[in-house]
């Protein structure tokens, strides 16, 4: 262990000489503080850092707030089937049809929409298998 | 063989809350702790408070002392943490005070300034040490005032001995330059 064993140059010497005597009042003051701390008992060791619980609560709050902002509130404001569902590739019409148990033809939503001309959400009277032409007929009958 | 005075037995007494053991610890390390604390804080009052905080922290966390192998290093590490908290607190207070002063100056102009300018130490060496970055100042304090080795300093500041030694050399070089430049300046303003 290479402990400091005395100044080796003028700067170290100057720093070493720049000492203030230890105040005599410090010893009784510190021993009194030690005695008081001993009476209060040791601080219990914590199993986890004090910040951990607060961090978990904060992270959960942020997550819930984000969830409400991105998913729940938009769906409440917009109403059911009125727009694309976040995180889903289904169109509103596909969602509506699935809810009613209607099996849509195997085509992309864009192709299917183009073929039927349907862009607005619709309700179907009976769950059954429909082709795009059937859907058009149902809609014509509804309006 | 009497082993009642070995460091291990002394640490065990501290961990058990032996008041006399804490008094002996103060008698052995108090002067070095106070000197290092004064160098780091730049004030006698700050050093007294820091040393007191160290001992109170040691008592409160005495159960951890049972696992300590290098007691001196542990005590100086506690000192460094205590002063680090003080530095952060002072920096925060200074930012608040600066903001307050700016607000007052915006409202009342510079004449409304009520916060005194920070008082610089009169002593050239103290001023030069105070101008060092905290990381360099604490290494100088732990080395010269605390009498620690670079290995112990490295453990206290959580780095490696080479970095501690490098910071120490850089600090001394800065002090040499600052004090050398100060020595070349006229001590009294030259009257025209």
Instruction: Flag whether residue A78 sits within 8 Å of chain B, measured between CB atoms.
Output: no
Q: Does any domain span residue A72? A: no
Query: What kind and span of H or E run contains B37?
Result: helix B19-41
CB contact under 8 A, A34 and B63: no
Closest chain B C-alpha to A74 CA, distance in angstroms: 41
Chain A interface disruption, residue of B22, B25, B64, most A CBs within 10 A? B22
Which position has the higher pLDDT, A133 or B136?
B136
CATH architecture of B7-183: Orthogonal Bundle (1.10)
Q: Does any domain span residue A135? A: yes
Q: Does any domain span residue A107? A: yes
pLDDT of residue A114: 62
Q: How far apart are the C-alpha atoms of B97 and B95, rounded to whole Å?
A: 5
Binned at pLDDT 50, 70 and 90, residue B86 comes out as confident
How large is the greatest C-alpha to C-alpha distance in chain B, in angstroms?
78
Q: How far apart are the C-alpha atoms of B173 and B179, rounded to whole Å?
A: 10
Chain B interface disruption, residue of A1, A2, A4, most B CBs within 10 A? A4
When divided into structural domains, chain A yields a total of 1
For the CA atoms of B116, B118, B124, B130, what is the dihedral angle to 10 degrees? 170
Calculate mean pLDDT across residues B28-37: 95
Q: Does any domain span residue A57? A: no
The angle that helices A109-116 and A92-99 make with each other, rounded to 10 degrees, is 90
Q: Where are the domains of chain B?
A: 7-183
Instruction: Flag whether residue A32 sits within 8 Å of chain B, measured between CB atoms.
Output: no
CB atoms within 10 A of CB A102: 19
Instruction: Flag whether residue A50 sits within 8 Å of chain B, measured between CB atoms.
Output: no
Contacts of B24 in chain A (CB under 8 A): none
Residue A134's domain comprises 92-142
User: For chain B, what percentages of helix, strand and coil (3-state, to nearest 5) are there?
Assistant: 75, 0, 25
Which ranges in B42-133 belong to alpha helices (H)?
A: 44-60, 62-65, 71-108, 124-130
pLDDT at B128 over 70: yes
Residues 6+ apart with CB under 8 A from A3: B147, B148, B149, B152
How many angstroms separate the first and last alpha carbons of chain B? Answer: 78
ipTM: 0.74
Which of B35, B52, B176 comes nearest A30 by C-beta?
B52
**Along the 143 residues of chain A, how does pLDDT read in single tens digits?**
577 878 888 889 999 988 889 999 999 999 999 999 999 876 655 544 455 667 788 888 888 888 887 777 666 666 554 444 444 555 666 677 777 776 665 545 555 566 666 554 444 444 455 566 766 666 666 55
Q: How many residues does chain A have?
A: 143
Q: Does any domain span residue A17? A: no
CB contact under 8 A, A26 and B126: no
């Amino acid at each position: 262990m290479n402990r400091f064993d005395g100044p080796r140059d003028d700067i170290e010497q100057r720093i070493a000489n720049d000492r203030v005597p230890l105040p005599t009042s410090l010893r009784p003051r510190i021993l009194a503080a030690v005695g008081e701390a001993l009476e209060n008992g040791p601080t219990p060791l914590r199993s986890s850092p004090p910040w951990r619980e607060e961090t978990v609560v904060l992270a959960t709050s942020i997550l819930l707030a984000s969830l409400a902002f991105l998913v729940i509130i938009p769906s409440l404001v917009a109403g059911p089937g009125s727009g694309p569902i976040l995180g889903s590739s289904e169109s509103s019409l596909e969602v509506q049809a699935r809810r009613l148990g209607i099996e849509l033809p195997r085509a992309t939503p864009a192709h299917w929409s183009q073929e039927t001309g349907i862009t607005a959400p619709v309700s179907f009277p009976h769950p059954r298998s429909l082709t795009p032409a059937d859907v058009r007929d149902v809609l014509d009958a509804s309006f | 063989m009497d082993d009642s005075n070995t460091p291990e037995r002394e640490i065990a007494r501290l961990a058990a809350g032996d008041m006399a053991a804490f008094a002996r610890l103060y008698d052995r390390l108090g002067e070095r702790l106070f000197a290092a604390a004064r160098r780091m804080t730049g004030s006698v009052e700050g050093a007294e408070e820091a040393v007191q905080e160290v001992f109170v922290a040691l008592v409160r966390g005495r159960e951890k002392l049972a696992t300590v192998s290098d007691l001196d290093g542990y005590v100086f590490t506690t000192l460094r943490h205590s002063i680090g908290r003080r530095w952060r607190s002072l920096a925060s207070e200074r930012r608040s005070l600066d903001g307050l002063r700016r607000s007052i100056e915006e409202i009342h102009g510079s004449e409304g300034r009520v916060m005194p300018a920070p008082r610089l130490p009169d002593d050239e060496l103290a001023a030069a040490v105070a101008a060092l970055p905290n990381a360099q100042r604490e290494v100088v304090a732990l080395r010269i005032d605390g009498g620690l080795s670079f290995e112990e300093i490295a453990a206290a500041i959580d780095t490696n001995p080479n970095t501690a030694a490098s910071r120490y050399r850089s600090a001394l070089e800065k002090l040499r330059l600052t004090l050398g430049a100060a020595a070349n300046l006229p001590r009294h303003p030259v009257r025209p």
